[in-house]
Amino acid sequence: MSQSEAQKQTLREWLLTDTPQSRHQARMVALYQGWLSFSTNTMAMFGLGILICLGLVALFAPLISPHDPFAQELGNRLQPLWSEGHVFGTDSLGRDILSRLIYGSRITLYIVALVALIAPVAGLLVGTVAGYSGGWLDVILMRITDIFLAFPRLVLALAFVAALGAGIENAVLAISLTAWPPYARIARAETLTIRNSDYISAVKLQGAGATRIVTKHIWPLCISSLIVRVTLDMAGIILAAAGLGFLGLGAQPPSPEWGAMISEGRRFILDHWWVATIPGLAIFTVSLAFNLLGDGLRDVLDPKDGGS
């Protein structure tokens, strides 16, 4: 056995041990065993592969895009699929659809990343404070949450965008404002389960305050449930962003946002169906990938829910 093979074997044994010698090793063992479980889920790995490809496409868009996504060529408008120089044809202004899809992936990931940073954090903060504090503060925060949950997400997002004004940043803010209540509900339920645990009582006896208990001992235990929920919600977030773009309230022209591309192509849906269909298929594929990834993460991070 070569030295590299021996090192790999030693590392694998270190990651698969039943008796970790440090907190760091325990974390690494849990991560590695979770990855082994996740990697056996073929559909989840398929979804992860699609999202990795999407990330690479967005990262290297200037290198792989065959044309300038904003360049108009009216004499070359509405070219069909597989036409010369345009794999997915062109739109009504002669712009290459493939190039606009590639650059549109950046907008999609931008929206997803911002909403994934804002909504779960806000929901985690509200839910844990409500669950740990209890009493009148819990009642007030949960009633506010119920008010947000009473409205359909897209309708509420439309109301916020109408008040804030059209634009991609305002669309992200509107989607985030409508997406946080489910995370608050999950965080509150987890907190109610945890706050009366014996180890929380032990931490209180050591003199820890409410802030330290919530941030150091409750938040880490809520993270796994929120990660699963975030991943499963990504498809809805993408659809909400595309819906706002379709209505002209999201990314503004000439940005190659997928929902706006569908809106433009709907005028030619009968004679030039690919103009709207191609970006629609892109939205479908990415949404499916997030759902497959979310199902796989749920099985790993929350097996009691995945098995129900």
Tens of pLDDT along 107-152? 989 988 999 889 999 999 999 999 988 889 999 999 999 999 888 8
Contact 296, 46 (CB under 8 A): no
The two three-digit tokens of residue 199, written as one number: 């180890």
Cβ atoms within 10 Å of 195's Cβ, excluding its own: 18
Question: Would 36 be classed as within a structural domain?
Answer: no
The two three-digit tokens of residue 111, written as one number: 């929206």
- In CATH, what number is assigned to the domain containing residue 270? 1.10.3720.10
Question: Would 43 be classed as within a structural domain?
Answer: no
Q: Give the number of residues written for the chain.
A: 308
**17 to 8, 26, 30, 278: CA distances (angstroms):** 14, 9, 10, 49
Q: Which of 228, 251, 227, 225 is nearest to 238 (CA)?
A: 251
The tally of domains found in the chain comes to 1
| 271-290 residues labelled b (16+ CB within 10 A) or e (exposed) | ebebbbbbbbebbeebbebb
- Helix orientation angle between 153-164 and 219-246, rounded to the nearest 10 degrees: 70
User: What average pLDDT score do residues 177-181 get?
Assistant: 90
* Cα distance between residue 153 and residue 115, in whole Å: 14
Question: Would 44 be classed as within a structural domain?
Answer: no
Cβ atoms within 10 Å of 68's Cβ, excluding its own: 14
pTM reported for the whole predicted model: 0.86
Over residues 183-226, the pLDDT tens digits come to 999 999 989 888 888 888 888 888 778 888 888 888 888 888 88
Question: Would 68 be classed as within a structural domain?
Answer: yes
Structural domain of 287: 55-72+93-306
